[in-house]
């Protein structure tokens, strides 16, 4: 399914109708964990922020301050996500040891209210993955707030159009309808974000970390240079850019665990990657007929809002 086919044959109301329907599930599997050494680039994934934590993805303001201070005091370098993506496209060398990336999923208003100024105070940047359908609603940031973030050096990228959970739609759809739905989710999100904010959108965060061959194929055809899971491992040279990994930072995470995640950016020569949640839960493992075997299907045993 080519992107221009959908644009020619599906009117926008039809796209929107597809985006809001159908629910089911599909089976999961697992694959062996990689044995990789040397330095990688860990991506730290946050969702929401509050004075006190009330959900499994809400980090407290004090925790976030402490973690950003740890990054600064221990000499780690927060780099833009685009720098890592450029390395996978052959446009730049792989980031140097000690490099880390910070990303925020969902575009919740609490980032703007609680965490934005903390990052600015340390001179750190971040990439926000948002879904346009909800911008300005349900405690999410507004378009003007996203514009402010863009002006101040933060990147805005795609989390699909409606935060699509493919586990809830795939089972009741034939393959053609399913591919059209994914195509619409990816293209419309990209078009709306680029149109509203005047940015290039070439990165995708899979909602809930779920992806399959159809999602991988449509992401490539829609022009996404990289896409991101919630597999808890660093990213290494040679990894498939359509299935890059992120460590979800959860409330109550110990300083020791946080430090070990950061240390994957500059490990000892005989030290493999730190996989704090390995084996606790598995994400759907797609057939290996598109990009080869998926490196790691372990994800944190927590709920991802």
Indicate which CATH number applies to the domain containing 117. 3.20.20.370
What is residue 49's three-state secondary structure? strand
> Does residue 254 sit within a domain?
yes
pLDDT at 171: 85
Q: 11 is in which domain, residue-wise?
A: 3-16+41-263
Q: Are 128 and 140 in contact (CB under 8 A)?
A: no
Query: For the segment 79-109, what is each residue's pLDDT rounded down to a tens digit?
Result: 999 999 999 999 999 999 999 999 999 999 9
Which one, of 255, 214, 217, lies nearest residue 63 by Cα? Answer: 255
Q: Which residues pair with 78 in a beta bridge?
A: 100
Burial of 201 (0-12, 13-18, 19+ CB in 10 A): buried
Does 175 fall in a domain? yes
Domain count along the chain: 1
Parts of the chain with a pLDDT under 70? 1-37, 267-305
What's the CA gap between 297 and 221, in Å, rounded? 24
Cα 66 to Cα 50, 61, 115, 189, 244, distances in angstroms: 14, 9, 12, 34, 26
Cross-strand bridge partners of residue 43: 101
Q: So what's the pLDDT on residue 269?
A: 60
Which one-letter DSSP state was computed for residue 270? T
Number of alpha carbons in the 13 Å side-chain half-sphere of residue 151: 6
Is residue 188 situated within a structural domain? yes
- Cα separation of 216 and 291, whole Å? 9
Least Cα distance to 275 among 232, 229, 239 occurs for: 232
Task: Give me the pLDDT at residue 135, please.
Answer: 97
Give the 3-state secondary structure of residue 239: coil
**What pLDDT score does 156 carry?**
98
* Average predicted confidence (pLDDT) for the chain: 82
Q: Is the pTM of this model over 0.75?
A: yes
At residue 29, the pLDDT reads 33
pLDDT at 301: 29
> Which H or E run contains 105?
strand 99-105
Torsion sign (Cα): 128, 131, 136, 137: negative
Residue 296 inside a domain? The answer is no
pLDDT given at position 23: 29
Q: Helices 61-73 and 255-263: crossing angle, nearest 10°?
A: 40
Please check whether residue 283 lies inside any domain of the structure: no
Q: What is the pLDDT of residue 267?
A: 66
In a domain, 228, yes or no: yes
**Residue 286: inside a domain, yes or no?**
no
Let me know if residue 291 belongs to a domain. Answer: no
At 239 the pLDDT is: 96
So what's the pLDDT on residue 38? 76
């Amino acid at each position: 399914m080519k992107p221009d086919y959908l644009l020619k044959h599906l009117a926008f109301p039809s796209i929107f109708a597809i985006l809001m329907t159908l629910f089911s599930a599909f089976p999961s599997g697992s694959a062996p964990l990689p044995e990789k050494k040397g330095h990688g680039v860990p991506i730290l994934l946050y969702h929401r922020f509050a004075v006190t934590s009330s959900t499994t993805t809400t980090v407290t303001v004090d925790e976030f301050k402490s973690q950003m201070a740890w990054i600064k005091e221990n000499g780690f370098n927060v780099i833009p996500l685009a720098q890592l993506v450029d390395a996978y496209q052959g446009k730049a060398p792989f980031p140097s040891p000690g490099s880390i990336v910070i990303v925020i999923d969902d575009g919740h208003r609490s980032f703007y209210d609680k965490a934005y100024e903390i990052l600015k105070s340390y001179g750190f940047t971040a990439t926000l993955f948002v879904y346009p359908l909800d911008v300005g609603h349900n405690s999410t940031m507004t378009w003007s707030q996203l514009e402010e973030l863009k002006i101040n050096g933060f990147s805005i990228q795609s989390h699909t159009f409606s935060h699509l959970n493919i586990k809830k739609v795939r089972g009741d759809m034939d393959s053609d309808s399913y591919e059209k739905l994914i195509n619409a989710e990816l293209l419309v999100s990209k078009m709306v974000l680029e149109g509203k904010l005047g940015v290039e959108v070439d990165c995708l965060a899979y909602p809930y970390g779920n992806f399959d061959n159809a999602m991988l194929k449509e992401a490539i055809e829609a022009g996404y240079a990289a896409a991101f899971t919630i597999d808890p491992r660093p990213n290494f040279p040679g990894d498939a850019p359509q299935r890059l990994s992120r460590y979800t930072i959860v409330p109550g995470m110990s300083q020791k665990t946080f430090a070990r995640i950061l240390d994957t950016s500059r490990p000892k020569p005989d030290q493999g990657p730190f996989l704090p949640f390995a084996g606790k839960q598995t994400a759907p493992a797609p057939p290996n007929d598109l990009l080869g075997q998926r490196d790691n299907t372990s994800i944190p045993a927590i709920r991802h809002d």
